[in-house]
């Protein structure tokens, strides 16, 4: 029986990734760095602490911090008001909780954005645990966020916890602590890439996951040892 599900937020619960990409690209260009938008796209799922050192490895932290601050201003002024929720987020959370499964959020975003997106998705009262970049030293693909969530969940067996995310960095971070990941296609990575990264199943979005919840990895039953194989449960094919 699954004990808890940890959801990413950007690209998983809300359709924010393209807005984030545009804001990052504009911040980089305005700061004098000619970085291709596709290069930014490939880093989606990381926080600024991981994204900027990869894109600009020879620049100082002060430069990274200045660009991150500019990106935040651009995103909040021009893009966040345009972000829309993916459908069926609240019904999925509600169904999980009715089944006795805890719902957690684990995001490389900050607390203010998460609270905004909870209001947007109507899930403010449907989440048991939250951990974000404000709570840890490093964002995904470091495991810090998942470690923080698991600690706040009471350190359950990782075999009884699933992660849901839209990026390879969700999968990488989750796998470090032994979590299996369900992929959704709300972000910058396609189904084949998510499967190659290690997703046990891939769905178009959380609405499709909700529609298939009785046959998805969310509905695993057994002795809780995690031996069930859900790799075939991927309607996104």
Give me the chain's average pLDDT, please. 93
User: How many Å apart are CA 180 and CA 158, to the nearest integer?
Assistant: 8
pTM: 0.92
Compute φ and ψ for 119, nearest 5 degrees. Answer: -65, -40
pLDDT at 230: 40
Per the structure block, which two tokens stand in for 66? 């200045």
pLDDT at 187: 87
Find tokens 């990026």 and name the residue. Answer: 167
Order of strands across the sheet with 102-106? 129-131, 102-106, 4-7, 161-165, 180-184, 201-203
User: How many Å apart are CA 72 and CA 191, to the nearest integer?
Assistant: 29
**Residue partners of 28: CB distance under 8 A and separation at least 6:** 35, 40, 55, 56, 67
- Please give the share of the chain, as a percent, with pLDDT higher than 70: 92
| Residues 160 and 228: beta-carbon distance below 8 Å | no
Task: Encode pLDDT of 83-94 as tens digits.
Answer: 999 999 999 999
Which domains, from first to last, does the chain contain? 4-15+84-219 (3.40.50.1000), 17-82 (1.10.150)
* Among the listed residues 86, 69, 88, 83, the one whose alpha carbon sits nearest the alpha carbon of residue 18: 83
pLDDT at 233: 52
pLDDT at 123: 98
Longest Cα–Cα distance of the chain, Å, equals 56
pLDDT at 49: 96
Compute φ and ψ for 137, nearest 5 degrees. Answer: -85, -40
């Amino acid at each position: 029986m699954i004990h808890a599900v940890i959801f990413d937020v950007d690209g998983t619960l809300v359709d924010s990734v393209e807005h984030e990409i545009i804001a990052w690209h504009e911040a980089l260009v305005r700061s004098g760095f000619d970085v291709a938008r596709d290069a930014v796209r490939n880093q989606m799922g990381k926080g600024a602490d991981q994204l900027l050192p990869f894109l600009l490895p020879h620049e100082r932290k002060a430069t990274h911090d200045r660009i991150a601050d500019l990106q935040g201003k651009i995103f909040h002024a021009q893009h966040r008001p345009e972000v829309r929720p993916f459908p069926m987020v609240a019904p999925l959370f509600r169904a999980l909780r009715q089944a006795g499964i805890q719902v957690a959020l684990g995001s490389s975003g900050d607390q203010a954005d998460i609270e905004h997106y909870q209001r947007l998705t109507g899930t403010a009262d449907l989440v048991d645990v939250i951990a974000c970049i404000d709570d840890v030293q490093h964002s995904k693909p470091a495991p810090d966020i998942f470690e923080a969530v698991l600690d706040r969940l009471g350190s359950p067996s990782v075999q009884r916890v699933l992660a849901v995310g839209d990026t390879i960095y969700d999968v990488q971070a989750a796998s470090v602590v032994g979590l299996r990941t369900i992929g959704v296609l709300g972000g910058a990575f396609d189904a084949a890439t998510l499967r190659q990264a290690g997703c046990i199943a891939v769905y178009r979005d959380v609405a499709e996951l909700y529609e298939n919840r009785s046959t998805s990895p969310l509905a695993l039953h057994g002795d809780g040892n995690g031996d069930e194989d859900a790799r075939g449960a991927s309607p996104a094919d």
